[in-house]
Amino acid sequence: MKYFLLIWAGLWRKKTRTILTMLSIIVAFLLFGLLQGINQSIKAGLGDSSNNRLWTTSRMSAINSMPISLMDKMLTVKGVRNVAHLSFFGGYFQDAKNAIPAFAINAESLAAVYPELNITQAQINAMKSTRPGALIGRPLAQKYGWKVGDKIPLGTTIWTTKDGTNNWAFDIIGVFDPTPQFANSPLGSAFWINYDYWDETRQFDNHRVHQFITQIDDPKQATAVSSAIDKLFENSPDETRTQSENAALAAQLKEFADIDFIANSIVGAVMFALLFLTANTMMQSVRERIPELAVLKTLGFTGGAVSALVLTESAILCLIAAIVGLLLSAVAIKGVGSVLGAGAIPPVVVVEGLVVAVLLAAISGLPPALRAQRLNIVDALAER
């Protein structure tokens, strides 16, 4: 601790250079925290081992419909606890650019497979008693200022009613509050409508659905149960494709972008460049202080002590800037990250960031520290 002032003073010998280097490290760790934070959040969500849901779609494509009657057969598979179904309404509010994540469901079976949505029994009952009823997520209600009792007209480019129009209207009977993990997902801010009402009112594709969601007893049996379900419909006109919800989400995300690869590539490139920048700063700083370091050795500081001073200086520079960068990324991730499903920076990213900062300090500080250690006092004092 008594050496801190000596190290701190050395660090600020050239204020502008130190500030610029710190800013570079701050920006790099802001990027690190943001990208790795989002990446880890997504991976953590996808890798949730307690997730016991399977998604079943048509083998042809996810937008092909399947008969709703498949559900009864699926319930016969060993290990299946509940099955719910879901169909895309593809609606919009007032203007086509205001897309609404509307899905036709059975509220009771949906609530059973998605307890995270926190749908209450009263809301299920209300959906049953109000055929054109709609149950909406709190985030969606807040976005449009909708409340229970409102009648919401939704347009759709797909589904025409039996009277030949595309105008649908639903009565909001409840607003559900999903868990924080689900609050940012499309399901958490969905506009759920009664399948029975929708199916009776639409002109075509009746008695068919787009997706089944199966709740199973044991997540470890996901592969076996998936195979058993698909086997039920093998060689039928409605062959299915079943996979775990995590795998399905990961596949969907990968179609959009390989976030893992992008995040690691960018962070890797930035850290590599930063290594040279920091190493150069430390080398320059030590080069300028050769006579001063020689004086310290003259006064009795050993080679090891002088190199420890240089390494500590490098560590302070990197760690302070890294901590500031990670704090900024924690703030940024609350805003930008929530769009991609990351509400907060995971602790593992903070630990990773600090480890990277220590490595950065060690690698960039080592060459100048060794130089300081090997410094010949007589030559250095004579500025040879």
Nearest to other proteins of 87, 373 (CB atom): 373
Query: Which of the 8 DSSP states describes residue 159?
Result: P
Could you say which of 6, 247, 336, 362 contacts other proteins (CB under 8 A)?
6
Q: How far is the CB of 16 from other proteins (least distance, A)?
A: 14
Q: Pick from 12, 75, 81, 157: which binds other proteins (CB under 8 A)?
A: 12
Instruction: Give backbone dihedrals phi and psi of 196, rounded to 5 degrees, phi first.
Output: -60, -45
In the complex with other proteins, the residue whose CB is nearer, 9 or 62, is 9
Block residue for tokens 């347009």: 155
Helices 259-288, 347-374: crossing angle, 10 deg rounding: 30
Q: By 3-state DSSP, what share of the chain in percent is helix, strand and coil, each rounded to 5?
A: 55, 15, 25
Q: Which is nearer to other proteins, 192 or 301 (CB)?
A: 301
CB of 324 to other proteins, least distance (A): 23
Handedness of CA 339, 322, 351, 259 (dihedral sign): positive
* Number of other residues whose CB lies within 10 A of the CB of residue 377: 14
Q: Closest approach of Cβ 318 to other proteins, in Å?
A: 20
Among 5, 16, 204, 339, binds other proteins (CB under 8 A): 5
Find the shortest distance in angstroms from Cβ 7 to other proteins: 11
Per-residue x/- mask for other proteins, residues 84 to 123, rule CB under 8 A? ----------------------------------------
13 or 334: CB nearest other proteins: 13
**Cβ 264 to other proteins, closest distance in Å?**
40
Dist. CA 13–CA 107, nearest whole Å: 67
Stretch 348-377: interaction string toward other proteins, x if CB under 8 A:
-----------------------------x
**CA–CA gap between residue 336 and residue 342 (Å, rounded):** 9
CB 257 to other proteins: min, Å: 48
Task: Tell me the two tokens of residue 160.
Answer: 């025409």
DSSP readout, 252-297? HHHHH--HHHHHHHHHHHHHHHHHHHHHHHHHHHHHHTHHHHHHHH
Q: To the nearest whole angstrom, how small is the minimum distance from the Cβ of residue 380 to other proteins?
A: 10
CA dihedral 172, 91, 343, 121 (to 10 degrees): 30
Pick from 163, 159, 170, 167: nearest CA to 204:
159
Contact code string over 269-308 relative to other proteins, x by CB under 8 A: ----------------------xx--xxxxxxxxxxx---
CB of 284 to other proteins, least distance (A): 16
The least CB distance from residue 376 to other proteins, in Å, is 9
Tell which positions 313-352 bind other proteins, by CB under 8 A. Answer: none
The tokens describing 211, both together, are 């997706």
- For 302, the token pair is 């050993």
Q: Is 278 or 373 the residue whose CB approaches other proteins more closely?
A: 373
Span 13-72, contacts to other proteins by CB under 8 A: 13
Nearer to other proteins, 265 or 302 (CB): 302
- Considering the complex, what minimum distance in angstroms separates the CB of residue 384 from other proteins? 10
Closest CA to 110 of 182, 30, 24: 182
9 scored as a contact of other proteins (CB under 8 A): yes
**Of the ranges 8-16, 22-30, 229-237, 325-333, which one interacts with other proteins (CB under 8 A)?**
8-16
Name every residue whose Cβ is closer than 8 Å to that of residue 232 and which is 6 or more positions away in sequence: 70, 73, 74, 77, 240
Residue given tokens 């129009």 in the structure block? 165
Contacts of 209 (CB under 8 A, 6+ apart): 65, 66, 67, 68, 85, 86, 87, 104, 195
Size of the site for other proteins (CB under 8 A): 24
Closer residue to other proteins (CB): 35 or 380 = 380
Q: Which residues sit at the interface with other proteins, rule CB under 8 A?
A: 2-3, 5-6, 9-10, 12-13, 291-292, 295-305, 377-378, 381
